[in-house]
Chain A
Amino acid sequence: MIFLGRRLLQIIPTLFFVSILIFSLQQLLPGDPALVMAGEERDPAVIAQIREQYRLDRPLPVQYVYWVKGVLSGDFGESLRIKVPVRSLIAQKLPVTMQLAGMAIIIALLIGIPAGILSAVKKGTPWDYAANLFALWGISTPNFWLGIMLIFLFSIELNWLPASGYVSLAENWKASLASTIMPAFVLGNAIAAVLMRHTRSAMLEVLESDYIRTARAKGLSEPAVIIKHALRNALTPVITLGALELGTLLSGAVLTEQIFSIPGFGKLIVDAVFNRDYAVVQGVVLVTATTYIALNLIADIAYVLVNPRLRS
């Protein structure tokens, strides 16, 4: 309990630091939001008006205080470009990326763990080489290339799946799966590779240990040895790693959502950065950072739960 309380308290300065960082980074972003917003007709009076309306003419600390005040009361401001509250944009986009991330994790687990087990058990055989080759491919294939190739094959050539766009689960679950399976695969593919490598090394280590030899000596069947004894022990660190990989998913989604025109978190931030829509950038980065911090916290707690020695 003390550990948990201390860990939670640590979050406050972290978030404060992150909020300052977000605000200063935005200033490093070259380009003037008022100029971008003024569009093609860049009349000086109009530009001055935008600066005043969105307090862009005020000193940075003043802007920061206004922003933090708003955030603390749950108001992230309003998109400069479309006048929609940032809060509602986030609420609209987050579930989309969550669904994508969830599917990607499932795909990663379904591919990565069996492939890892296979290559560990069949170490040195063609199976092992094939699985390693797959992992190498998964890590080194750029998301955008794989995405475009999938669109080309499954949408244009075979016409099985929509090339882009998004349908929500509530609207039509079949269409929803069809619209997200390709991007989820692109995202899951890279993580599957990482999981495969980790499962493989963890399994190899466990398979060498004494209790496995004992289990085999007792005359247990090979599948029972691998699944009941080896896998259960090998999987613990792998699952923790999986939780941290969720963070990777958020950043991977930026590019993948752009390719597949999925209106999620990644696309929201890319468009906001290009349009210098500061309020949206700030809101999205803050939520993303908070998610990272929360995931780290969960991973830490999981470690402690698994390993009681760390509790003191």
Chain B
Amino acid sequence: MTSLRLASLVVFALLFSSLQVGAQTTLRIGLAEDPDILDPTLARTYVGRIVFASFCDKLFDIDAKLNIVPQLALSHETSADGKEVTIKLRPGVKFHDGEPFDADAAKFSLDRHLTMPTSFRKPELAALDHVDVVDPLTIKLVLKTPYSPLIAQLTDRAGMMVSPKAAREAGDKFGLKPVCAGPYKFVERVPQDRIVFEKFADYWNKDQIFIDRIVYLPMVDATVRLANLKSGGLDLLERLLATDIKDVRADSRLKLSTALELGYRGITLNIGNDKAKGPLSQSEKVRQALDLSIDREAINQVVFNGEFVPGNQWVSPEHPYYQKSFPVRGRDVAKAKALLKEAGITGRIAVDFMVPRGSENEAVAQVIQSMTAETGFDLKIRVTEFATSLKQAEAGEYQAYYLQWSGRIDPDGNSYVFLKSNAPQNNSAYSSPDADKALDDARTVSEPAQRKTIYEKLTAAVLRDEPIIYIYHARTLIAHTTRLEGYTQMPDGLVRVVGLKLK
């Protein structure tokens, strides 16, 4: 009898353990939007970058301190004149279709980014003239002009490598069934419903991959995403609302992971455009007065429970390129009023304030409205649907525009296109010889201390002229269940899946 019981116990234990081994682990990630096409050359959205992180490795990556670290590349070396960058590649890497990753494949991917007619990577790689294959595991990037942000660009989509065979066959439909060299390979996509990946057995770093499948589920409503996380329908969600932080912290089954974002939220002021001829566009004193009327810390407390970081530059106070000699100014109503008087302003200043729809945006706008009213500004909040606001900003049909920028690793990505004369996203039509020179100089120098000195000049010019009033830096808010182990949030906001385990 005892032996029978023992035997059945053993059988049961064996059965159970085999079941355990056979059980597939699936990580379900809730996204705030449905990504656009999954082709690194054609992709444009932030949410798409989150998905790429699981299947498309890049030449370089970043670590939590914003250092550039190798991924498919092993090292890089820039020539003395800054016009040649030699990159050594990782040996023994395979694409999902079994094709080898080598110098030819790397050249193919970069050429594809550069030459594909509908490529969105062209502006990022504009400085690149051509790519030479030095040996099977070495490429040389030959530049038109020295361009120090280049390696930082290669930590994102411009550095993603695709299988030449698959890309040649699929053409511009490659994104419907992408083949890269990342930890997971593409299985299927049902638009607006799910994107499924499974573990890639030949991944170069496969010892660090513990989860079998990843399913991305787009859920637009933040409340719904959180409800799914709480009820077990999701294991992780991106873009938690700041107002839900308390709720997540109070739940013992949930965990919050945050990192200060690379970008900023701020008010772009229309300076150069004729359509907005008000005191705000004519005098920097008025713009400084507007800035001085704003209490950034109060906004942070009122709208974001003190979780975010007030800021006054295009990088956050925690960023290596932050200029500490220009600290965040406090609110000073008396000084703001004095500045308005100096500018010869009598009476109240009406300002058309365009704010993209969204509860957080609208709350911030209302707080700013009431703060600046005390100084003599009359902000008229105009809540506008996002796509419409973009168009109007581009056309100069606004006076003040509340906008966020998701941010780039290199400070160039947060400043050049917004502040350089006639740059594509310089919606304030700002133009300053000082700023222009600093922006161009910073691109030619790669030594960090030297670059920082150049950016100091830019900071001085921008804080004086105020084409953009920088307000705060948000935190990337990721909530996940405690079943998920090994998760760390990176400042670029993306969700990296290497090293994750599900209990």
Closest to B219 in A: A261
Most B Cβ at <10 Å: residue of A40, A268, A276? A40
- Complex alpha-carbon distance, A259 and B228, angstroms: 12
A40-B406, A44-B424, A259-B224 are known contacts. Are A166 and B390 too (CB-CB below 8 A)? no
In the complex, the answer to whether A42 meets B217 with C-beta atoms within 8 Å is: no
A40-B405, A164-B233 are known contacts. Are A30 and B37 too (CB-CB below 8 A)? no
In the complex, the answer to whether B391 meets A165 with C-beta atoms within 8 Å is: no
- Complex alpha-carbon distance, A37 and B394, angstroms: 14
Q: How far is the CB of A68 from chain B (nearest CB, A)?
A: 25
Closest to A40 in B: B406
Segment at the B interface, from A79-87, A227-235, A297-305: A79-87
A247 at the interface (CB under 8 A from B): no
Closest to A161 in B: B231
Contacts of B221 in A (CB 8 A): 258-259, 261
In the complex, the answer to whether B191 meets A263 with C-beta atoms within 8 Å is: yes
Contacts of B219 in A (CB 8 A): 164, 261
A42-B424, A261-B218 are known contacts. Are A152 and B176 too (CB-CB below 8 A)? no
Q: How far is the CB of A64 from chain B (nearest CB, A)?
A: 22
B172 touches which of A30, A81, A83, A261 (Cβ 8 Å): A83
- Complex alpha-carbon distance, A159 and B405, angstroms: 38
In the complex, the answer to whether B224 meets A260 with C-beta atoms within 8 Å is: yes
Most A Cβ at <10 Å: residue of B44, B124, B218? B44
In the complex, the answer to whether B231 meets A156 with C-beta atoms within 8 Å is: yes
A30-B388, A31-B385, A271-B192 are known contacts. Are A46 and B123 too (CB-CB below 8 A)? yes
- Complex alpha-carbon distance, A49 and B124, angstroms: 16
Q: Mark B219-234, 1 if CB is under 8 A from A, else 0.
A: 1110110011011110
Segment at the A interface, from B114-122, B128-136, B475-483: B114-122
Q: Mark B418-437, 1 if CB is under 8 A from A, else 0.
A: 00000011000000000000
In the complex, the answer to whether A39 meets B218 with C-beta atoms within 8 Å is: no
A35-B391, A82-B191 are known contacts. Are A40 and B233 too (CB-CB below 8 A)? no
B326 at the interface (CB under 8 A from A): no
In the complex, the answer to whether A163 meets B231 with C-beta atoms within 8 Å is: yes
- Complex alpha-carbon distance, A41 and B48, angstroms: 14
Contacts of A84 in B (CB 8 A): 176, 191
- Complex alpha-carbon distance, A37 and B37, angstroms: 11
- Residues from 213 to 228 in A contacting B, C-beta threshold 8 Å: none
Q: Mark A135-162, 1 if CB is under 8 A from B, else 0.
A: 0000000000000100110011001001
Contacts of B190 in A (CB 8 A): 92, 263
A35-B390, A261-B218 are known contacts. Are A271 and B34 too (CB-CB below 8 A)? yes
- Residues from 342 to 373 in B contacting A, C-beta threshold 8 Å: none
A53 at the interface (CB under 8 A from B): yes
Contacts of B37 in A (CB 8 A): 81-83
- Complex alpha-carbon distance, A155 and B191, angstroms: 24
B386 at the interface (CB under 8 A from A): yes
In the complex, the answer to whether B231 meets A263 with C-beta atoms within 8 Å is: no
Contacts of B120 in A (CB 8 A): 38-39, 41, 46
Contacts of A42 in B (CB 8 A): 390, 394, 424-425
B272 at the interface (CB under 8 A from A): no
- Complex alpha-carbon distance, A93 and B391, angstroms: 30
Contacts of B44 in A (CB 8 A): 37-41
Closest to A155 in B: B231
In the complex, the answer to whether A261 meets B388 with C-beta atoms within 8 Å is: no
A156 touches which of B36, B122, B227, B405 (Cβ 8 Å): B227
Contacts of B392 in A (CB 8 A): 30
Q: How far is the CB of A137 from chain B (nearest CB, A)?
A: 23
- Complex alpha-carbon distance, A82 and B42, angstroms: 10
- Residues from 223 to 249 in B contacting A, C-beta threshold 8 Å: 223-224, 227-228, 230-233
Contacts of B232 in A (CB 8 A): 159
- Complex alpha-carbon distance, A38 and B417, angstroms: 14
A200 at the interface (CB under 8 A from B): no
B205 at the interface (CB under 8 A from A): no
Contacts of B406 in A (CB 8 A): 40
- Residues from 30 to 60 in A contacting B, C-beta threshold 8 Å: 30-32, 35-46, 49-50, 53
Q: Mark A7-46, 1 if CB is under 8 A from B, else 0.
A: 0000000000000000000000011100111111111111
Q: How far is the CB of A127 from chain B (nearest CB, A)?
A: 36
Interface residues on chain A, number (Cβ under 8 Å): 48
- Complex alpha-carbon distance, A79 and B405, angstroms: 26
A89 at the interface (CB under 8 A from B): yes
In the complex, the answer to whether B191 meets A32 with C-beta atoms within 8 Å is: no
In the complex, the answer to whether A159 meets B231 with C-beta atoms within 8 Å is: yes
- Residues from 9 to 43 in B contacting A, C-beta threshold 8 Å: 34, 36-37, 42
B1 at the interface (CB under 8 A from A): no
In the complex, the answer to whether B191 meets A165 with C-beta atoms within 8 Å is: no
Closest to A39 in B: B44
Most A Cβ at <10 Å: residue of B118, B392, B406? B118
B193 at the interface (CB under 8 A from A): yes
B173 at the interface (CB under 8 A from A): yes
A46 touches which of B122, B218, B223, B390 (Cβ 8 Å): B122
In the complex, the answer to whether B175 meets A82 with C-beta atoms within 8 Å is: yes
- Complex alpha-carbon distance, A259 and B221, angstroms: 7
In the complex, the answer to whether A162 meets B192 with C-beta atoms within 8 Å is: no
B6 at the interface (CB under 8 A from A): no
A198 at the interface (CB under 8 A from B): no
B118 touches which of A32, A53, A151 (Cβ 8 Å): A53
Q: How far is the CB of B49 from chain A (nearest CB, A)?
A: 10
Closest to A88 in B: B191
A267 at the interface (CB under 8 A from B): yes
B46 at the interface (CB under 8 A from A): yes
A43 touches which of B34, B122, B224, B394 (Cβ 8 Å): B122
Contacts of A40 in B (CB 8 A): 44, 46, 405-406
List 16 other contacts, CB 8 Å, given A36-B390, A83-B37, A276-B387: A31-B391, A32-B387, A35-B387, A35-B391, A40-B406, A41-B120, A42-B394, A42-B424, A43-B424, A49-B118, A79-B191, A151-B227, A164-B219, A261-B218, A263-B193, A268-B191
A/B interface sample: 8 pairs, CB < 8 A: A41-B123, A84-B176, A92-B190, A155-B233, A156-B227, A165-B217, A261-B219, A268-B191
Chain A residues at the B interface, C-beta cutoff of 8 Å: 30-32, 35-46, 49-50, 53, 79, 81-84, 89, 92-93, 148, 151-152, 155-156, 159, 162-166, 258-261, 263, 267-268, 271, 274-276
